[in-house]
Amino acid sequence: MSTLIYWFRNDLRLLDSPALNKVCREATHLIPVYVLPPDAIMSRWGFARVSTQRKRYVAETLAALDAQCRELGSRLLVLQGDAATALASLVESTRADGIVCEQIAAPEEEAEVEQLRAQGIKVQYFWQSTMLDLAALPFTPRQMPDMFTQFRQKLESKGLRARAVLPRPERLPSLPDHVPAESLSLAQRLDLLGSRPEANTPLQAGTSQGLQHLDHYFADELPHTYKETRNQLSGPDYSTHFSAWLATGALSASMIVERLTQYESARGANDGTYWIWFELVWRDYFRFLHLKYGRALYLREGLRQPDSLADAQRLAVPTSGIALKLFEQWTEGKTKNALVNAGMNELAATGILSNRMRQIVASYLIYDLRIDWRAGAAWFESQLLDYDVYSNQGNWLYIAGLGTDPRGGRRMNLDKQALEHDPKGFYRKQWAQT
Ligand SMILES: Cc1cc2nc3c(=O)[nH]c(=O)nc-3n(C[C@H](O)[C@H](O)[C@H](O)COP(=O)(O)OP(=O)(O)OC[C@H]3O[C@@H](n4cnc5c(N)ncnc54)[C@H](O)[C@@H]3O)c2cc1C
pLDDT means per 10 residues, the chain with 434 residues, are 95 97 96 94 94 93 96 95 96 96 97 98 97 95 95 94 95 91 81 75 87 96 95 92 97 98 97 97 97 94 76 78 95 97 95 96 96 97 97 96 85 94 95 84
Between the CA of 269 and the centroid of ligand 1 the distance, in Å, is 22
Answer yes or no: are the C-beta atoms of 199 and 320 closer than 8 Å. Answer: no
**Domains with residue ranges and CATH for the chain:** 1-128 (3.40.50.620), 131-162+208-298 (1.25.40.80), 301-430 (1.10.579.10)
Q: Looking at residue 202, what is its pLDDT?
A: 64
Residue 327: enclosing H or E segment and its boundaries?
helix 321-331
d(CA 25, CA 401): 46
Q: Looking at residue 195, what is its pLDDT?
A: 77
Q: Is 230 in the pocket of ligand 1 (CB under 6 A)?
A: yes
Instruction: Read off the DSSP letter of residue 75.
Output: -
List the beta bridge partners of residue 36.
80
E-state strands within 44-104:
77-80, 98-102
pTM: 0.96
Choose one of 279, 285, 330, 374 to mutate for the ligand 1 pocket test, by most ligand atoms within 8 angstroms of C-beta.
279
Residue nearest to atom 6 of ligand 1 (CA): 392
Answer yes or no: are the C-beta atoms of 205 and 250 closer than 8 Å. Answer: yes
Q: Is 282 in the pocket of ligand 1 (CB under 6 A)?
A: yes
Q: Looking at residue 428, what is its pLDDT?
A: 97
| Amino acid at site 330 | W
Sign of dihedral through CA atoms 9, 11, 12, 13? negative
Between the CA of 175 and the centroid of ligand 1 the distance, in Å, is 37
d(CA 98, CA 375): 36
Choose one of 51, 131, 346, 355 to mutate for the ligand 1 pocket test, by most ligand atoms within 8 angstroms of C-beta.
355
Radius of gyration of the chain (CA): 22
Residue nearest to atom 16 of ligand 1 (CA): 355
Choose one of 251, 395, 396 to mutate for the ligand 1 pocket test, by most ligand atoms within 8 angstroms of C-beta.
395
Between the CA of 355 and the centroid of ligand 1 the distance, in Å, is 6
Count CA within 13 A, CB hemisphere, residue 213: 24
d(CA 363, CA 366): 5
Count CA within 13 A, CB hemisphere, residue 127: 17
Q: Is 240 in the pocket of ligand 1 (CB under 6 A)?
A: yes
